[in-house]
């Protein structure tokens, strides 16, 4: 069964450093998403991406964040200068037009900022 994959599973970085979280969505999907879950809190939407551009973003997704689909298979989330409060589990999701809007989630990347 096709699945969304994410790398790395765990990333530790120092405050102020740049990080790139990588996702490989399901191959025939067209819509891509990033969500995050701070420990003990609810899952929050960050950004959605369709047709090579951002279709919607939350207030969390400020200028420190960017997304890219560099090669038609990967979907990345970059945080330019990490803050302590960026520590969270980051989930990538994808959906296809014919999937009744079902979003398939990856296993997540746990980002720890020290």
* SS3 assignment, position 85: helix
Contact flags string 29-48 toward other proteins, x per CB under 8 A: ----x-x-----xxxxx--x
Q: Is 18 in the site for other proteins (CB under 8 A)?
A: no
* Per-residue buried b or exposed e for 36-54, using 16+ beta carbons within 10 Å of the residue's own CB: beeeeeeeeebbbbeeeee
Token duo for residue 48:
């959605």
104 binds other proteins (CB under 8 A): yes
At which residue do the structure tokens 């990333």 appear? 11
Contact status: 108 vs other proteins (CB under 8 A): yes
Residue number with CB closer to other proteins (40 or 71): 40
Residue among 20 and 54 whose Cβ is closer to other proteins? 54
5-7 β-sheet, strand order = 5-7, 19-24, 75-79, 65-68
Could you tell me which stretch among 18-26, 68-76, 78-86, 92-100 binds other proteins (CB under 8 A)? 92-100
Residue ranges binding other proteins (CB under 8 A): 33, 35, 41-45, 48, 55-56, 58, 91, 93, 95, 100-108
């Amino acid at each position: 069964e096709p699945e969304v994959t994410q790398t790395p599973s765990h990333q530790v970085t120092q405050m102020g450093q740049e990080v790139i979280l990588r996702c490989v969505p399901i191959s025939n999907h067209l819509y891509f998403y990033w969500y995050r879950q701070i420990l003990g809190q609810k899952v929050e939407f960050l950004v959605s991406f369709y047709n090579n551009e951002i279709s919607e973003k939350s207030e969390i997704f400020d200028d420190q964040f960017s997304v890219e689909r560099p090669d038609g298979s990967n979907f990345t989330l970059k945080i330019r200068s990490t803050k302590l409060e960026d520590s969270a589990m980051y989930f990538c999701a994808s959906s296809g037009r014919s999937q009744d809007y079902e979003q398939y989630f990856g296993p997540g990347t746990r980002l720890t900022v020290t």
